[in-house]
Structure 1
Amino acid sequence: MLRVTSTPGRTRRPTMVDVAARAGVSVKTVSRVVNNAPYVQPELVERVLAAVAELGFRRNHLASTLRSGQATATIGLLIEEIANPFYATIAGAVAEVAADHDTMLIIASSEEDPAREQQLLRDLCARRVDGLLVVPAGEDHTFLAGEVELGTPAVFLDRPAGGLRADTVLLDNRGGARAGVRRLTADGHRRIAVLLDSTSVYTMRERLAGARDALTEAGAADDPLLVRDGIRDPATAARVVAELLDQPDPPTAFFSLNNRISLGAVEELHRRDSDATLLGFDDFDSARLLPYPLTVIAYDTHTLARTAAELLFRRIRGDRDAPRDVLVPTELVARGLPRR
């Protein structure tokens, strides 16, 4: 089990009063230094900054907007790409839960950049949010250990945290992929091509592992030539499907590990009037209208997000039980139009 180290005797966030006491200056001097006020003696600035670093003090960026003695209930949501319908649904569901709890929601996008993710999470913590919901881009979240230790709860969704034991709400990626490929092997398929984005992505690794589980159960050969990665858009997916179909012993079925790959696969399979079977992870609005039959591994994104948000609010209200791991189930659904 991953462990979070703690500082002995540290049970609350350091305040300006603590910094002033450590530096041997007034609270007013600390305030002037942390707010970059002019005309503070360099020697005092140095003492205050040394105390800030030693205590791990963070200025509350919202303090100037708060009424005396009051606090603003706020949570932060970090997603990867605001324009992606998957993340838009997550944001909408979290906003619903936040509204139910009279809480303001701040949404930020990491653009799948781990460095940007870290900076945004640090910024949200500096603003003293009451909790964090994170769809992680990076694989190292130990930098959040101090904030979690000081009482800022964090819940990770869609992908787990790296190096930090925290509440996690995930899709059953491996189980869903296993169930889908089991159906393909039950229908007699043994040469099944698996098309994915990148094995550096947690969800891709889990879905690939589930596919391999089912192939192994069926006694199907694990042909590395049938596993193709680096497919990040529909055009690339269509090109890879064409290459595989042109092989002397082409696959009889394709398993695309996300909806963008499914779109490209449908384009090429329909163009060729192919008899190959298509299985895709992720349902999407236009899937039922695609000009080619396929089975999708579907799930409820709204449930994924609401589950994570409600778990966060339980933590904010004082739940101190051990971190939970929650799996959201998937199901197989027929989509697309039948062949003529």
Structure 2
Amino acid sequence: MRDVAARAGVSAMTVSRVLKGSGRVGDSTRQRVLDAVSDLGYRRNETARNLRLGRQSGLVGLVVTNLANPFYAQLALGAEEVVQEHGLRLVLGNTAEQLAREQDLVQDLVSRRANGLIVVPSGSDQQHLSPAALDSTPLVLAARPPAGIEADTVLVDDFGGARAATARLVADGHTRVGFLGNPPTLFTGAERFRGWWSALEEAGIQPRDTWVRRGPYDVVTAEAAARELLDRADGPTAVFCANNRLTLGACRAVRGLGSAAALGGFDAVESADLLGVPLTLASYDPAEIGRRAARLLMDRVSDDPGARPTGPPRRTIIPTSLAEFTA
């Protein structure tokens, strides 16, 4: 602002009045200030100004665990759509499933007076997301449930989707169905494993530990795990994969081995019809998770205290549907 004042030959107070639209500035002076603003490319630091005035920043923080996964990009787009409708801006942070990074990101957003937070938690230690730790900043959790705290939450039907996809593989004649999934410490990994197990038991099939591979896989390591699983003499004839990254890795393994194995998966897979592998997917709209989470949050940050929800935290479940693709 001082640079603008010097270029226009006025005081910093006069610049401030012009930027605020005050009528107590002459037309010629106002034009000199506006020309100086344009020449210098000046933009007022709204965050710093809001902090000085004790106001919120106009920002909503979205903290996710893995930006390399298209799921989170779609979730972010859905959240941004709703947030922008309310005149706010979305700020995105990635934790890479690391609790310390999540804690730092959340605390930074709180210190910047974010209007609210949408968080995909990286684990079961969530005390940094308690109302006291957040200085009462409104919070919504997405894709994973609260643990030891209370918060509005948007979840996917992880158990039901996994059970339905696995049951379809069984209905197609597969009695040896493997599982390629996330570590059991992750809520989604545990629920999808439970859905796979339940579908087999309901069909009178005893699940085997030798059919299971669980770990922090990406596409490359998932391909290796699927190859090892399918290349066994007593291996499964079909595999359920707990997310889209794992499904892509398993597709590579099936094609590389020249296997006739069928795959089930959770999450949509781009160009699934071109993969050349029999595939059954439990799918849903990730953007809808973001939209639902943002709507819950906007309720909590409403300018009208009387319009804010009261009572226990709200939970929304996004249903899944099956999509089938032939080889």
Normalising by structure 2, we get a TM-score of: 0.78
- Cα contact 2:127–2:133 (8 A) shared by 1: no
Q: 1:226 to 1:132 in 2, by over 3 A?
A: same
Query: 2:79 matched to 1:94?
Result: yes
Deviation of the 1:138 alpha carbon: 2.6
- Cα contact 1:131–1:154 (8 A) shared by 2: yes
- Cα contact 1:132–1:152 (8 A) shared by 2: yes
- Cα contact 1:148–1:154 (8 A) shared by 2: no
Aligned to 1:240: 225
Query: 2:293 matched to 1:303?
Result: no
Aligned to 1:114: 99
Letter of the structure 2 residue corresponding to residue 209 of structure 1 = R
Q: Give 1:188's match in structure 2, choosing from 173, 176, 181.
A: 173
Gaps of 5+ in 2: 1-45, 303-307
Q: Give 2:314's match in structure 1, choosing from 298, 320, 324.
A: 324
Query: Following the alignment from structure 2 to structure 1, what is the Cα–Cα distance between the partners of residues 52 and 226?
Result: 60
Alignment of 1:1-340 (within 5 A): 62-65=47-50, 68=53, 71-147=56-132, 150-230=135-215, 232-317=217-302, 318-335=308-325, 338=327
Query: Following the alignment from structure 1 to structure 2, what is the Cα–Cα distance between the partners of residues 168 and 270?
Result: 39
Letter of the structure 2 residue corresponding to residue 331 of structure 1 = S
Q: 1:252 to 1:82 in 2, by over 3 A?
A: closer
Deviation of the 1:176 alpha carbon: 0.3
- Cα contact 1:190–1:221 (8 A) shared by 2: no
Q: 1:68 to 1:248 in 2, by over 3 A?
A: closer
Q: Secondary structure at the match of 1:285?
A: coil
Aligned to 2:43: none
- Cα contact 1:296–1:333 (8 A) shared by 2: yes
Letter of the structure 2 residue corresponding to residue 120 of structure 1 = L
Identity among equivalent pairs (%): 42
- Range that drifts further, 241-250 or 160-169: 241-250
Aligned to 2:305: none
The CA deviation string for residues 256-289 of structure 1, in whole angstroms up to 9 with x for no partner, is: 1111221222122223332222111111222221
Query: Following the alignment from structure 1 to structure 2, what is the Cα–Cα distance between the partners of residues 194 and 186?
Result: 17
Q: 1:270 to 1:165 in 2, by over 3 A?
A: same
- Cα contact 1:169–1:304 (8 A) shared by 2: yes
Query: Following the alignment from structure 2 to structure 1, what is the Cα–Cα distance between the partners of residues 92 and 265?
Result: 29
Q: 1:72 to 1:121 in 2, by over 3 A?
A: closer
The CA deviation string for residues 149-172 of structure 1, in whole angstroms up to 9 with x for no partner, is: 853210000111221111110110
Normalising by structure 1, we get a TM-score of: 0.76
Query: Following the alignment from structure 1 to structure 2, what is the Cα–Cα distance between the partners of residues 109 and 231?
Result: 17
Q: Secondary structure at the match of 2:130?
A: helix
Equivalent residue pairs, number: 277
- Cα contact 2:60–2:91 (8 A) shared by 1: yes
- Cα contact 2:56–2:115 (8 A) shared by 1: no
Gaps of 5+ in 1: 1-60
Aligned to 1:31: none
- Range that drifts further, 236-245 or 193-202: 236-245
- Cα contact 1:195–1:231 (8 A) shared by 2: no
Deviation of the 1:143 alpha carbon: 2.6
